[in-house]
Amino acid sequence: MTNNMSTEETFRFIELYQAENCLWNPKNKYHKNKNVINDSWNRIANTMGVPIHELKKKKDNLLATFRLNLKRIISSMRSGAGAEEVYQPVWIFYDVLAAFLTDVYESASVMNSEDKAQPVVNEESSTSNVRACDIPPEVKNGDNDDADVPATFQKNPCIQGQNVVL
């Protein structure tokens, strides 16, 4: 059924998947709750009349293609190309998925050449929305190169159970 799903059915599936925030949003408090996840998949399966295993396979295929297109966009932007040369996906489902998944995939840290995690800055965000975990430790320390000043560890307000160097 997943290979035979029409374009309209696929758009409907994406709409239902988006509505079940716990399935795709790692910031959702129920994202790792198996009971809530199963209930969400059951609601989608009942609405669409498609078995859960086929819906999960469809989701995997859609997300794999989405990630591939997103990677192409990011790669074309990093190559120093002009705005007119940035890759534009032609895949029909890209824009619908990008509307809610881009933030999830762009929130992952990008590694620079020094192997330090750097946050990805969204052009639409302002500095007032920056969280403590978004600021690299060297910025928090205020460019102080004093080797005598010991680093202090504090709870990271963005990731429970992790410490950050301040």
Distance from C-alpha of 57 to C-alpha of 75, rounded to nearest angstrom: 27
- pLDDT value at 163 more than 80: no
- pLDDT value at 61 more than 70: yes
How many Å is the Cα radius of gyration of the chain? 20
Give the mean model confidence (pLDDT) for residues 75-80: 75
- pLDDT value at 43 more than 80: yes
Distance from C-alpha of 12 to C-alpha of 76, rounded to nearest angstrom: 31
Give the mean model confidence (pLDDT) for residues 128-146: 41
Would you state the pLDDT for residue 84? 74
DSSP string computed for 105-133 = HHTS-EE-TT--EEPPPPTT--GGG--GG
Residue 32 has φ and ψ, to the nearest 5°, of: -110, 10
Q: Which two tokens stand for residue 124?
A: 């639409």
Q: 0.75 cut: is pTM over it? A: no
pLDDT higher at 165 or 36: 36
Report which of 130, 142, 131 is spatially closest to residue 166, judged by C-alpha positions.
142
